[in-house]
Amino acid sequence: MQASLSLLLKLLIAFGLPFALLQVPTPSLPLGELTLVQHRLLAIFVMAALLWILEPVPVYATSLLIIVLELVMLSDQSLLLFRQPADATPLGQFIAYTDIFHAFASPIIMLFLGGFALAIAAAKFRLDTNLARVLLSPFGSQPRYIMLGLMLITAVFSMFMSNTATTVMMLALLVPVLATVPRDDNSIKALVLAIPVAANTGGIATPIGTPPNAIALQYLSDEHSISFLGWMAFGLPFVIVQLALAWWLLQRLFPTRHHTLALHLEGQFQRSWQAWVVYLTFGLTIVLWLTTAWHGMNAYVVALLPLTVFALTGIIGKEELKLFNWDVLWLVAGGIAIGMALDQTGLAGQLAHAIDYASLPSLLILILLSGLCWLMANFMSNTATANLLMPIGAAIATSVPSLAGAGGLTAMLIMLAFSASLGMVLPVSTPPNSLAYSTGLIDSRDMMKVGVLVGLSGLSVLYLAALMALSV
């Protein structure tokens, strides 16, 4: 009964406040005079934020609702009632309904489809676990080096696979290692926490590693576009620094009493022709992603090649297609749709000018927005956080002179993407955190302690890099 009342209250808040906002005269809003289309979009934006924060419905359902409401209320094929102004308020420019539908077929969606295909094929033929076994063997038997090996392997897999799938795989690999450690040894907590920290951090290195990166790329086009390798030039050094800091931090917070741990890693690579197709396609796709300048195909085009190869060879069939993270694709599509609407209606610009950012130093603007992004990402989905803040950050970066003329758009969106992925304070902050917490080997205080320190250290590295970039 109490759960039902809580759900009802959340729904009333999420839908009631935006409905009340629609009844407010536009001149009375702090944004100034809005068109009816902008006013409706603002209500949809507020509703999406509340639904993503409170989560009375699944986050992907909120994204689908955004797209439907835009089609019904804001598109050139909207309900006739919404195309007729009720008063003297200007109606505004409607959005082409095809532009809203394009959110489902954005290049970003194609990039994720390719990433899912690689991850599922690798898991089907045990490429992931066998690579982990081979890569972990050289790290010896000392606990700190085993933890370093786990973190490096987890981070590398998270660059190209779902961080959730990577965490599941690495926690399973950790089971025989933990079996040799007494339950009262702190190294258990260090080893378990190392995996979600590395999974959350590793995805930062590549455009397909985590949804916030892909959302940032949506706004980096034309002269601001970044290649796969170009993104890694920013992301990989940051990940290396963060992993080193986290490794040192975990050793200090959870020191071990043992000098050695026994590893029992078994298994072998499969030799079937389909397994060889997976191995070769996996390697070739990564090479093509890293050499765009040589062959001319961008990351989005390359992403469809493994999907096509696996479909033609039967490696991915109907059952495997069901394993794709369609909820993530819907969530990203909703963010793309709301970002596009904010841009086309001009509302993003008005939200960006609600505060006089032009009077603030460039670095302070970046710090304020990235800090807000990190704070929000600890309490809600990092993808939902990126969906909400990316369009506003892009509008601010292109309208504030001190940022617009100094690569500010790229700096703003990269910092927001990185900050969203650093949100890992609570068990509910990210799926890897939830999976690690579900083992029962750590408690929320341990996770909060590590999450806060790793997050703040990451933000400090970002701010130092931004200071150096803006001073050049």
pLDDT (tens digit per residue) in 238-252: 999 999 999 999 988
b (16+ CB within 10 A) / e for 429-461: bbbbbbbbbeeebbeeebbbebbebbbebbbeb
The total number of residues written for the chain in this structure: 472
Q: How far is residue 331's CA from residue 346's CA, in Å, rounded to a whole number? A: 23
3-state helix, strand, coil in the chain (%, to 5): 75, 0, 25
C-alpha of 94 from chain center: 30
Closest listed residue to residue 60, CA positions, set 276, 332, 306, 320: 332
**CA distances to 204, 240, 281, 418 from 415, in Å:** 11, 16, 32, 5
Q: Which two tokens stand for residue 138?
A: 């050289």
Give me Rg for the CA atoms of the chain: 23
Residue 225's contacts (CB-CB under 8 Å, 6 or more residues apart) are none
List the end-to-end C-alpha distance of the chain, in Å, as a whole number.
60
pLDDT for position 405: 57
User: What type of residue is 425?
Assistant: V
pLDDT for position 89: 66
Q: Which two tokens stand for residue 316?
A: 């991915």
Q: Classify 33 as helix, strand or coil.
A: coil
pLDDT for position 188: 81
pLDDT for position 246: 94
Output the average pLDDT for the chain. Answer: 81
pLDDT for position 72: 92
Q: How far is residue 356's CA from residue 352's CA, in Å, rounded to a whole number? A: 8
Q: How many CA atoms lie within 13 A of 388 on its CB side?
A: 27
Q: How far is residue 358's CA from residue 154's CA, in Å, rounded to a whole number? A: 41
Q: How far is residue 103's CA from residue 330's CA, in Å, rounded to a whole number? A: 9
Q: Classify 75 as helix, strand or coil.
A: strand
Q: How far is residue 215's CA from residue 207's CA, in Å, rounded to a whole number? A: 9
Task: Indicate whether this model's pTM tops 0.85.
Answer: no
pLDDT for position 150: 86
pLDDT for position 360: 77
**Do 439 and 407 touch, CB atoms closer than 8 A?**
no
396-408 confidence digits (pLDDT tens): 888 777 676 557 7
Sign of the Cα pseudo-torsion (359, 360, 366, 370, in order) = negative
Task: Name the phi and psi angles at 265, rounded to 5.
Answer: -110, 120
Q: How far is residue 434's CA from residue 427's CA, in Å, rounded to a whole number? A: 5
Q: Which residues of the chain have pLDDT under 50?
A: none
Greatest C-alpha distance within the chain: 77
pLDDT for position 155: 92
Task: Name the phi and psi angles at 95, rounded to 5.
Answer: -95, 140
pLDDT for position 71: 94
Q: How far is residue 168's CA from residue 438's CA, in Å, rounded to a whole number? A: 11
